[in-house]
Amino acid sequence: DESLILIGPKRGLALLDDNYVETDLKIKDHLGQGRELSKGVVTIRGIAGRSLEECVVETKSLATRLSTVDVMYAVVKHAVEATIAVEVLQGDFYGKTTAYTSSIKDRLVLYDSEVADAMTGYDCGVIQLMRPIISGYVKDMLIIAAQTGDRKSEVVFTPRVNTRDEDKITVGATRMRVKVVWSVMNPWISAC
């Protein structure tokens, strides 16, 4: 029962009408040939067909001939989008960086040094995040957590419409700067 880390979509999706998530998962056999594991479409109901009182995490299952795929997603009211950047200022970072909000505690992995291709960085110690964009409720707090071995540290941001924030976080001997740029997903939302 293992989870796959999706690398897209890169942005939050506005849920005005129904959204469709298409899966086409394949596995390679011993000869390196791709074999179909799961293929199908999951429908996420748009806001016209629902009454949303709070932010919720939902799961849709897609049962196919060879497997069942669970697609988990959050439906967020009055959403803002946080574009996140993490820069190592001192030391080396070998660990995991996650994000969650005060109303949705499920953590999204932003960076994991143990995942293939995730350890690439570039100029000035900037870490290339697997998922640099998080959507959240405009009245929630965004929590960024960094963990190395048994050390853990968090930094908290308050969403603000169309602005930017930054803070420093220290985990063991590693010091990092976390930057967040806030943008509105729905142009009719103000700072509520």
The tally of CA atoms less than 13 A away on the side-chain side of residue 83 is: 11
With the C-alpha atoms ordered 112, 155, 185, 181, is the resulting torsion angle positive or negative? negative
Q: Which pLDDT score, from 0 to 100, does residue 149 have? A: 85
Which residues of the chain have a pLDDT value below 70?
A: 1-15, 49, 116-124, 186-192
Give the residue extent of every domain in the chain. 19-75, 79-184
The pTM (predicted TM-score) of the whole model is: 0.78
Q: What is the pLDDT of residue 119?
A: 44
Residue 136 near residue 101, CB atoms below 8 Å: yes
Task: Please tell us whether the domain made up of 79-184 is placed in CATH 2.60.290.
Answer: no
Backbone angles phi, psi at 91, to 5 degrees: 85, -170
Q: Provide the pLDDT for residue 118.
A: 45
pLDDT at residue 32 in the model: 83
- pLDDT given at position 164: 94
Give the per-residue pLDDT at 83: 93
| Beta-bridge mates of residue 98 | 109, 145
